[in-house]
Amino acid sequence: MSVARYFDEMSYGPAPEADGEARAWLKKHETGFSHFIAGAFVKPAEGQYFETAEPATGAKLARVAQGSAADIDAAVSAARAAQVKWAKLSGHARARHLYALARAVQRHGRLLSVVEAIDNGKPIRETRDIDIPLVARHFYHHAGWAQLQASEFADQVPVGVVGQIIPWNFPLLMLAWKVAPALALGNTVVLKPAEFTSLTALLFAEIAADAGLPAGVLNIVTGDGATGAALVAHDGIDKIAFTGSSEVGKLIREKTAGSGKSLTLELGGKSPFIVFDDADIDGAIEGVVDAIWFNQGQVCCAGSRLLVQEGIAETFLSRLKHRMQNLRVGHPLDKAIDMGAVVAPVQLERIKSLVAAGVAEGADLFQPDIPLPSGGCFYPPTLLSNVQSAASVMREEIFGPVLVSMTFRTPDEAVMLANNTRYGLSASIWSETIGLALDIAPKLQAGVIWINATNLFDAAVGFGGYRESGYGREGGREGAYEYMKPKAWAKRKPRIASTLPAAQPAEDGFGLPHLDRTAKLFVGGKQARPDGNYSRAILDPKGRKIGEVGEGNRKDIRNAVAAARAAEGWSKATTHNRAQILYYLAENLSARAEEFAARIAAMTGFSKAKAAAEVEVSIERLFAYGAWADKYEGAVHQPPLRGVALAMNEPIGVVGVICPDEAPLLGFISLVAPLIAMGNRVVVVPSEQHPLSATDFYQILETSDVPAGVINIVTGAARDLNKTLAEHDDVDALWVFGAAELSATAERLSVGNLKRLLTDHGLVTDWFDAAAAEGPILLRHAVQVKNIWIPYGE
């Protein structure tokens, strides 16, 4: 073929990346890759290995150690031994270690990118130009947090030993997302890479050791799901950070219930890609290519649901199909391809079966007539159009190069369709009207929103989801907090179970008896009798009955949740309005301070002075959250692109609250006030032993302009009501302060919708200490952060 013909046809020829160094490195380890524990490579305790294959050819690639419980134990022991010394290093010293890792990644960037492409099957262009630069960026960025830790996180301490489990779709990038913040902030790590793609993690371990990272700070144990399960179950782990499927995330939540381990779960997604009729169609089509065919669609935040406004749908799909005809699928080391290989045969079969199910349910299938390499795990770019919202391919995460499409007419319908999923990881909005895009973004129930862009990532910008896409954030300041815990909570002591006094007989005689008063529930802005029409006696410390409260049950919780859900206007109210109402609550409580102090003294036996102090601090706390309501704001991130990312604090939604017995009024106020200040609506179970100050408080609510349904109070047995709240899938989050068994129950039973949890694990909080019970320490848990990316320019 002549040069002139090449210019005439403009056809692509092969542009292979040299893989000599990568193959030489693999050859050096052909007898088998070992675990990396305590700064050295050690053979598996049980002597077991497994083989991995090259996705593009199916050929054997490596022999990798199969981790056992003994290997995990050795790695955790090494991490524990190193953690105290690592945390005691100055922030500057840790910053220099992370800086060295960043520089080392850059020096070895080409080797890392080639090994990643061979091991995972993704195109070398993606590993070279996206993955590896982002890996270095994460270590650079978190070196900065290490340097600034003493000033920026002065009220925090490291979590301790962190177990991290990463997926196969971005093997090295996921390592950096997790390892960099953990190490920067004084933790040590035991990491389990994905079974399919362990090689770049082991190569990184070699690089880290050569860069002088102290032994035991980073430990890597390879293996299958059983290895990950052993890591999750290990008593020496203080935190689990997991990225993977929602099904496994739910299992981890259940298995760690009651253990005290903190969790970060970055799970699946079924993200909408919304195209309005005023969008730049060509730009949006290129966005689709990046959204779903990047990394063969094996991306948790892939824009796999295409929603196109009806007026442009026909034109858009026609031009999209034309663009698909020009996509190239080929060997990952070819620099001129768009798509490489799917990671493994089992994943390829899953993709095929889901596409077949979609066609059987009525979808129109389009696959371009383009060549695929013979052998290996290749699948063509695929479009399923005219898909119904209830179809399996519209609801299930396919995790492959498959786009499903449907149309909408109005912006409201677009929002409804976009939110019609159990996931909530990301979304992409395409419109030339920035006002429209910024109006839609807050309405989408997702943690990351891209405007006229897709799949933008940066270490300075938090990433994570809502609902069954998990909780916690990775990256940015919010991601840094995931690897620390408040100093004020680090020394909490176990709660000593209180014993109820024996009920004393009522005094008889011929004097006037006390007028009967049974406190009702407070649901939807009204006092309500309990569904079961039962009540429970409330006793003072000497066993004398001082009142009765309603015995709430499952139906009462259902009614309260429905009332809270209906009060969504509170979440849309201005922060100024919420602040004014909190101040009003404080004002009205102040007017009845003596009455509330007397009630507390009667219930608890506290001295008058201590009861009066509790009321005064409760008033002050309401004032504090009135102040925070319009001051706990988001941030403007400046990632390295022409644009900004707005980190917006959003209310979580409907939050259940279980209050402790100590400080019955102050504990109640301290938990409810931050939630409503941030726009949440609550269903609160007050102190089981001392609920009367909370039932008195609903008279304050009735006179303080609090909208109906914002605060709902259901009295009764904490154990039963906690269980009901944990199982209720219309409750978005649950705060549990009380006996340790309540925390364990909440964590175990909340897996249905993966509600966000804040539990004290039976440890007592000093509610009078503002450092432990007021301000950002609780406000961080009262919001979820949404990052909205807004690129500049045409």
Active-site residues, by number, are 266, 300
Q: Decide if 261 contacts 237 (C-beta within 8 A).
A: yes
Measured distance CA(404)–CA(364) in Å, rounded: 10
CA distances from 608 to 591, 668, 670, 768 (A): 17, 19, 21, 16
CA distances from 306 to 394, 404, 456, 467, 725 (A): 10, 6, 18, 21, 35
In the 8-state DSSP scheme, what is residue 734?
Answer: E
In sequence order, the 6+-apart residues with CB closer than 8 A to the CB of 593 are 612, 615, 616, 619
Q: What are phi and psi of 623, to 5 degrees?
A: -60, -40
User: Tokens 């009845």 appear where?
Assistant: 592
Q: Decide if 623 contacts 590 (C-beta within 8 A).
A: no
Measured distance CA(178)–CA(160) in Å, rounded: 14
In the 8-state DSSP scheme, what is residue 363?
Answer: P
Q: What are phi and psi of 328, to 5 degrees?
A: -115, 130
Measured distance CA(32)–CA(21) in Å, rounded: 18
Measured distance CA(242)–CA(192) in Å, rounded: 10
Q: How many CB atoms lie within 10 A of CB 498?
A: 12
Tokens representing residue 600 in the block = 């507390």
Query: Count of H helices and E strands in the chain?
Result: 30, 32
Alpha-carbon torsion, ordered 452, 456, 462, 467, to 10 deg: 70
In sequence order, the 6+-apart residues with CB closer than 8 A to the CB of 21 are 110, 111, 114
CA atoms lying within 13 Å on the CB side of residue 231: 29
Measured distance CA(568)–CA(780) in Å, rounded: 20
